[in-house]
Amino acid sequence: MSTRMASEPAIWQDKKRHLWLLGLIVPTMLFLMLPLVWALNQAGLHTAAQLPLYIGPILLYVILPTLDLMIGADGQNPPDEVMAALENDKYYRYATYAYIPFQYASAIFGAYLFTASDLGWLGFEGSLGWLGKIGVALTTAIVAGVGINTAHELGHKRESLERWLAKITLAQVCYGHFYVEHNRGHHVRVATPEDPASARFGETFWEFLPRSTFGGIRSAWELEAARVRRTGKNPWDPRTWPGNDVINALAMSVLFWGVMIAVFGAALIPYVLINAVYGSSLLESVNYLEHYGLVRQKQGGEGSQGRYERCTPQHSWNSDHMVTNLFLYHLQRHSDHHANPTRRYQTLRSFSDSPNLPAGYGALIGVTYFPMVWRKLMDHRVLEHYNGDITRANIHPRVRSKVLTRYGAAV
């Protein structure tokens, strides 16, 4: 029996390897609540029986923040010598692939619950009331919203299969343009005033939401149209549309929801709208907090005037809370992601010298809805990041004069 020499380094192991499968709780949570719904109905608590259908908002706004607070930071970074093997370990990509069929199973089952006229098998007399229907729609929208993160992970990869899976995942929330805009727009313009997905200091989430949504759609079309024109073709020619990534992604949404409405009827339309609007807003909440107030400075010197400095980990807010890391595939290690956008989630690392958020994404998504709370939490962190020089931040034009005056800078 051999023993390890004292000087021999221990083999690094990913302590989260099997925990990554906890991410599948999200797309299966509606099914997991069914026994509780049935039990409450059997007890005669028919109104209370509809509350477990709100498991999506409960998980997002209550359970995840609580667990992040209780369990704390992750703290494990893979060392350089294991990066290549870890990157090529297919177990991790299969863990993300598995999310997609469960996401669509949840969407279809949710549509059934939303429109069914007889749910006696679940203990209800007839159909769900609007209390239950809204809960189902919000929960499936959260499943799809978290699914955007799965699409984000897959859309950055070079394999054709993963890129198509990314677009399929985005179809439920009608946000297929994200595949183009995020990879070819946001990653080029990140942390600049020109980027619609980089929030500005003093900009509320409710101002940011339409700017990012419609700015992203416009940018995606312009980027894809320019790509088509470089091939010598007209992007408005219908013959080019099958290969147009904005149009074919939109077609997936139209096809999916068209079939769903054909099967379940026009009564499904409110469900469709909640999935699209609320689901996509979750992505925009995350966009809002990832780069709030941060900006890449313009370079000086001959030949580089007007160009922005290279994107570094200093241009993204980082967070390393364990539980949200597991549910969002290390999206919180956003500083490393922008420095290495094709790196797979399991190899992303957390940098102590990056600007760090005060909590995990799970806790902060809800905070973004309340501008006064958000600014009290984050504005001083932006100021500290720039060593008190607020002129170096990405300031929202509406409040620029007020901000500069407040912090004693020249207007």
Q: What is the mean pLDDT of residues 265-290?
A: 97
Going by pLDDT thresholds of 50, 70 and 90, the confidence category of residue 301 is very low
* Cβ 182 vs Cβ 154: under 8 Å: no
| DSSP string over 78-108 | --GGGHHHHHT-HHHHHHHHTHHHHHHHHHH
d(CA 110, CA 256): 14
Q: What is the mean pLDDT of residues 266-280?
A: 97
| Confidence at residue 75, expressed as pLDDT on a 0 to 100 scale | 85
> In the numeric block, which tokens belong to residue 350?
């957390």
| DSSP string over 311-350 | P-GGGS-B--BHHHHHHTTTTT-HHHHHHSTTS-GGG---
Q: What angle do CA 115, 119, 123 make, to 5 degrees?
A: 145
Tens-digit pLDDT profile for residues 104-151: 999 999 999 999 999 999 999 999 999 999 999 999 999 999 999 999
* Cβ 179 vs Cβ 257: under 8 Å: no
* Cβ 357 vs Cβ 289: under 8 Å: yes
Q: Is the pLDDT of residue 302 over 60?
A: no
Task: Give the 3-state secondary structure percentages of the chain, helix then strand then coil, rounded to 5.
Answer: 65, 0, 35
- Mean pLDDT score of the chain, rounded to an integer? 92
Q: Is the pLDDT of residue 156 over 80?
A: yes
Tens-digit pLDDT profile for residues 312-356: 889 999 999 999 999 999 999 998 999 888 899 999 999 878 899
d(CA 343, CA 349): 10
Cβ contacts of residue 317 below 8 Å, gap of 6+?
A: 289, 290, 291, 292, 294, 334, 335, 354, 355, 356, 357
Cβ contacts of residue 298 below 8 Å, gap of 6+?
A: 305, 306, 307, 308, 309
Q: Is the pLDDT of residue 234 over 60?
A: yes
Q: What is the mean pLDDT of residues 27-49?
A: 96
Tens-digit pLDDT profile for residues 237-254: 999 998 999 999 999 999
Q: How many residues does the chain have?
A: 411
Q: How many CB atoms lie within 10 A of CB 173?
A: 25
Going by pLDDT thresholds of 50, 70 and 90, the confidence category of residue 43 is very high
Torsion over CA: 161, 163, 164, 169 (sign): positive
Q: How many CB atoms lie within 10 A of CB 322?
A: 20
159 phi, psi to nearest 5 deg: -70, 135
